[in-house]
Amino acid sequence: MPTKSPTIIIGHKNPDTDSVASVLAYSNLKAKLGESVEPAVAGPLNNETKFVLSYLNIEPPKLIENLEQKQVILLDHGDLSQIATGIDAAEIMEIIDHHKIGDIQTESPILYRAEPVGSTCTILAKLFKEERQSIEKKIAGLLLAGIISDTLFLSSPATTELDKKTLQELAEIAEIEPKEFAQKMFEAKSDISSLSVRDIIGGDYKEFECHGIKFGVGVFETLCPEKVREFDSEIFKELLELKKENAMGLIFFLLVDILKQESFMYLVTDEEADLCKQSFSGEIKNKVMFLPGVVSRKKQVIPVLTNALARRS
Ligand SMILES: [Mn+2]
């Protein structure tokens, strides 16, 4: 008799450290509970995630770009636009997420766990406790990395008390000094020497829809924004191309300065500029809006843009 194929545990397209770390940790927990699962990623890893996996000496998950005919557990996303292709012909078994509730629909009842915390890895650490399973040193390192990455080392407004407490607990188990580890992760994230302009704007790019208007928002977090700003004219060119390719009504790119806790919003046409002027009060210079204190797409950009779009229609 053919054996049933394992359930795929996978994060969103353009995977980030939180999605990859939570996938590997949940696969570890499921295996401890005797379930047959396989960790996967929906795209190539970014430089920060590559650093984390090699630091912890962990193999990257298998790349799966089509989910057809598979049973899947989705981590760290809830919007259809962020799921790997083939989901229409797949069966969603569970979702664990920390974003707004998206537009995913299922045919049968599923386990859906959403908590408004700073990272999916924070929820994962809680799940280990709920299942009374100890967290191995390496897995603690992974979860620690996911929290550091998504909360910008507890500085993002998306950070909660639970993230702070969990980070401390995990750092002890992992025997990792979190501040140094965060610095190394952010340095890896900021290294653009191997990246194309398309990688920079598209590496952490997500699409949304509000009142029939589709819009994309790319984010790049860095310790040295000035290195990215050298490529402003190419960035605008690539943004226009990406907007056309993906048939977006609007497209934005947010360059985040991790240290100064501020960002630069690229306004590719008058339409993007108009919406941002209605949404934020930042100063615009050469089609780039300066946004002090803004670092979180999820908490500080998407709600504001969708609000402005809703008022407009
Ligand atoms: Mn996340």
119 C-alpha vs ligand 1 centroid, how far in Å? 5
Q: Which residues of the chain have pLDDT under 70?
A: 1-3
Superfamily of domain 197-312: DHHA2 domain (3.10.310.20)
94 C-alpha vs ligand 1 centroid, how far in Å? 16
Q: What is the pLDDT of residue 78?
A: 87
252 C-alpha vs ligand 1 centroid, how far in Å? 20
270 C-alpha vs ligand 1 centroid, how far in Å? 31
Give the start-to-end residue ranges of the domains of the chain. Answer: 7-188, 197-312
Share of the chain above pLDDT 90, in %: 94
208 C-alpha vs ligand 1 centroid, how far in Å? 16
17 C-alpha vs ligand 1 centroid, how far in Å? 8
State the helix-helix crossing angle for 161-174 and 178-190, rounded to 10 degrees. Answer: 100
For the beta sheet containing 71-75, the strands, ordered from the edge strand earlier in sequence to the opposite edge, are 62-63, 37-41, 7-10, 71-75, 91-97, 111-114
Place of tokens 């191997």: 194
Give the CATH fold of the 7-188 domain: inorganic pyrophosphatase (n-terminal core) (3.90.1640)
Backbone angles phi, psi at 215, to 5 degrees: -140, 145
Q: What is the pLDDT of residue 2?
A: 53
Residues around ion ligand 1, judged by CB within 5 A, are 18, 76, 120, 150
Q: Do residues 36 and 4 make contact, with C-beta atoms less than 8 angstroms apart?
A: yes
20 C-alpha vs ligand 1 centroid, how far in Å? 9
State the helix-helix crossing angle for 137-151 and 120-130, rounded to 10 degrees. Answer: 150
Reading the block at residue 266, the tokens are: 């690229």
Q: Which residues contact 212 (CB under 8 A, 6 or more apart)?
A: 313
307 C-alpha vs ligand 1 centroid, how far in Å? 22
13 C-alpha vs ligand 1 centroid, how far in Å? 12
256 C-alpha vs ligand 1 centroid, how far in Å? 16
Share of the chain above pLDDT 70, in %: 99
Task: Give CA separation, 62 vs 8, 45, 93, 99, 231, in Å.
Answer: 10, 11, 19, 24, 33
